[in-house]
Amino acid sequence: MKQNNTNKTFKTELEKLKQMSIEDRLWYIWEYYKLQIFAFFLVIFLLYEAGTCIYRNLQDTMLYCVTVNETSLLSSDFSIVQKEFEEKNGFDKTWKENTIFDCSLSVDDSNKEVYDQYYNTASNIKLTSLLATDTVDVLITVPQMFSYYTAQNACLDLSSFLSEDLYEKLEKENRLLTAVDGDGNKICTGISLDDSYLSSKLPLSDESSLSVCTDKNHPDVVQNFITYCIWGK
């Protein structure tokens, strides 16, 4: 009986669509099935990310850098910085030494459009999984998200991660930023990118900062990247 009802409903929907113009059909499908459509594309997105993660595991990722809510930043801009940094560090592509620079993430619930809600959800799921698996080395973001990720214990205390020399140089330039972590402690987890070499190359937001998320991959490369971002060396 249930199968018959399903078939009857399906036939009724087909009859409705046959009697509509192309414009009306598109409107009808969008109006009544947009949630299912977005759910479908969300599943495709997650499957794609899973596939790329498997592929990346076959390579040695020397640096994984993501930006969050840097809305003016284009992937073409980021790729120029990526190429320059790789050349400065002499990564050997023949040995599968690569870097990943991702500026696609947006985590913000202020926009209530359905598309943005799904995109933000997908971005949040992606970043959460990357952070949980110690995949992301460096996070570049705006002040609000810098405080948020520090509170989530997603950022390292730079006083214990950076070399003494690099820490002192950043401190002298007043670039070190503090925020409150998940245990209520005020710690140094950010580096200001205002008036830095990176900000001269990319359209970063005002008061953007750089944070380090893990020391389990290539900490020496991360410190080299910080030096590159601030002074272009």
27 pLDDT higher than 80: no
Measured between alpha carbons, how far is 28 from 22 in angstroms, rounded to an integer? 10
Do β-strands 209-212 and 186-192 pair in parallel, antiparallel, or remain unpaired? antiparallel
List the structure tokens of 177.
């930023």
Q: What is the pLDDT of residues 79-137, one digit of tens each?
A: 999 999 999 988 876 657 788 898 877 776 454 444 455 556 677 778 888 888 888 99
Give the dihedral of Cα atoms 148, 150, 155, 158; nearest 10 deg.
Answer: 140
Looking at residue 3, what is its pLDDT?
A: 44
Count of positions (residues) in the chain: 233
**Lowest mean per-residue pLDDT among 55-64, 80-89, 179-188, 194-203:** 55-64
CA 210, 213, 219 angle in degrees (round to 5)? 90
CATH class of 62-111+134-231: alpha beta
Residue 141 φ/ψ, nearest 5 degrees: -155, 180
Looking at residue 222, what is its pLDDT?
A: 96
Other CB atoms within a 10 A radius of the CB of residue 20 amount to 13
Do β-strands 60-68 and 209-212 pair in parallel, antiparallel, or remain unpaired? unpaired
Which among 34-43, 67-76, 174-183 has the top mean pLDDT?
174-183
Q: When comparing pLDDT for 34 and 226, which is higher?
A: 226
List the structure tokens of 74.
């284009």
- C-alpha 202, offset from chain centre: 16
CB–CB of 84/210 below 8 Å?
A: no
Q: What is the pLDDT of residues 53-69, one digit of tens each?
A: 666 566 678 899 999 88
Which residues, in sequence order, are CB contacts of 17 under 8 Å at separation 6+? Answer: 25, 28, 29
Instruction: Map out the domains of the chain as residue ranges.
Output: 62-111+134-231
